[in-house]
Chains A and B, each alone.
Chain A
């Protein structure tokens, strides 16, 4: 006989049990979607301040990305730290140690959620910085000699002419 999986009888553990499953399903969309956008659809090497500003500070679609990221950080933090708590509950047995462990876990989790939420919520584009960044890169691109060989050599192809070179920076 196959045995059914163990489900808590009630109380906090049952709530946590349901939460792990519901948040898991939502995170399939949020977290895997986030990875797809950042690592597959984009090249991570192109991600920088201007890229983030272009997402969060977009007047039309910015709120969608901010909402996405706010939901993601809340769910992933609760899911991840509750998972950590479940693991440590199996290994930490002393009453005092358990209180200390739980207090630490929930404190660190709260601090990280506050930090991340603050960044997503309060972000304001620093226009001056982005303009300066664009100007510097345009200059670097113009300075790039045609057919320059990249210092990495080996399997790396010659650096493309349009690209800036940071050697000597």
Chain B
């Protein structure tokens, strides 16, 4: 299973070539799994920044929190827009896929780090990552997409904020 690994490429001159070389690595599955691991890591981080801010609303303005999370269900300004709901559902699925891939591939990276022989099985182990990923992703996709077949369960009215009355 051993493969010859070339020396890392030197950066070519020029900003664009440098960027492309920086994004690429040594070719093959190793390059792609590494790149996807990097992109998914950054994607989760971007989501997390937004998520920390929206969750912060819960502590000082319950109504603002409810208005914000209602958007995820397709309700904006008290009106329901089904395409909004569909868009958020697909994005939700994308988030789950992103985290699952990063998690499963991350475990593979960690196994390589603590078990030296592991690198010999780079290709096989990446196939295993894809299999585990799909095995988790298919039921998750069904669970997330199925509710779209019916109308939203909770299009709730949101009261005026009463939090300000609290001491």
Interface size on B, residues (CB 8 A): 71
Question: Could you tell me if B59 and A118 are in contact, using CB atoms closer than 8 angstroms?
Answer: yes
Taking a contact as CB atoms closer than 8 A, the residue among A25, A123, A133, A152 that contacts B107 in the complex is: A25
**Nearest CB of chain A from residue B140's CB, rounded to whole Å:** 6
A37 within 8 A of B: no
Taking a contact as CB atoms closer than 8 A, the residue among A35, A119, A167 that contacts B58 in the complex is: A119
Cα of A24 to Cα of B119 in the assembled complex, Å? 19
Question: Could you tell me if A28 and B58 are in contact, using CB atoms closer than 8 angstroms?
Answer: no
Cα of A123 to Cα of B62 in the assembled complex, Å? 11
Taking a contact as CB atoms closer than 8 A, the residue among B55, B117, B151, B158 that contacts A163 in the complex is: B151
B75 within 8 A of A: yes
In the complex, which residues of chain B have a beta carbon less than 8 angstroms from the beta carbon of A118? 56, 59
Q: Who on chain A is nearest to B117 by CB?
A: A2
Cα of A122 to Cα of B60 in the assembled complex, Å? 10
Q: Who on chain B is nearest to A27 by CB?
A: B103
Interface centre among A39, A49, A112, by most chain B C-beta atoms within 10 angstroms, is: A49
**Nearest CB of chain B from residue A55's CB, rounded to whole Å:** 11
Q: 1/0 contact trace for B130-146 toward A, CB 8 Å?
A: 00000000001001100
Interface centre among B52, B63, B75, B110, by most chain A C-beta atoms within 10 angstroms, is: B52
**Nearest CB of chain B from residue A135's CB, rounded to whole Å:** 8
Question: Could you tell me if A169 and B78 are in contact, using CB atoms closer than 8 angstroms?
Answer: yes
Interface size on A, residues (CB 8 A): 67
Question: Could you tell me if A133 and B66 are in contact, using CB atoms closer than 8 angstroms?
Answer: yes
Taking a contact as CB atoms closer than 8 A, the residue among B55, B107, B158 that contacts A119 in the complex is: B55
A-B contact count (CB 8 A): 185
Cα of A56 to Cα of B49 in the assembled complex, Å? 21
B16 within 8 A of A: no
Question: Could you tell me if A2 and B3 are in contact, using CB atoms closer than 8 angstroms?
Answer: yes
Within 8 A of B (CB), among A37-55: 39-40, 43-49, 52
Question: Could you tell me if A21 and B159 are in contact, using CB atoms closer than 8 angstroms?
Answer: no
Interface centre among B2, B5, B70, B103, by most chain A C-beta atoms within 10 angstroms, is: B103
Question: Could you tell me if B69 and A77 are in contact, using CB atoms closer than 8 angstroms?
Answer: no
Q: A2-B3, A123-B58 are in contact. Are A165 and B155 (CB under 8 A)?
A: yes
Question: Could you tell me if A112 and B140 are in contact, using CB atoms closer than 8 angstroms?
Answer: no
Q: 1/0 contact trace for A146-157 toward B, CB 8 Å?
A: 000011101111
Q: Which B residues contact A (CB, under 8 angstroms)?
A: 1-3, 5, 22, 38, 41-42, 44-45, 48-49, 52-53, 55-56, 58-59, 62-63, 65-66, 69-70, 72-73, 75, 78-80, 82, 85, 92, 95-96, 99-100, 103, 106-107, 109-110, 112-113, 116-117, 119-120, 122, 140, 143-144, 147-163, 165-166
List 7 A-B pairs, Cβ < 8 Å.
A40-B144, A45-B72, A45-B85, A112-B49, A133-B66, A140-B157, A163-B151
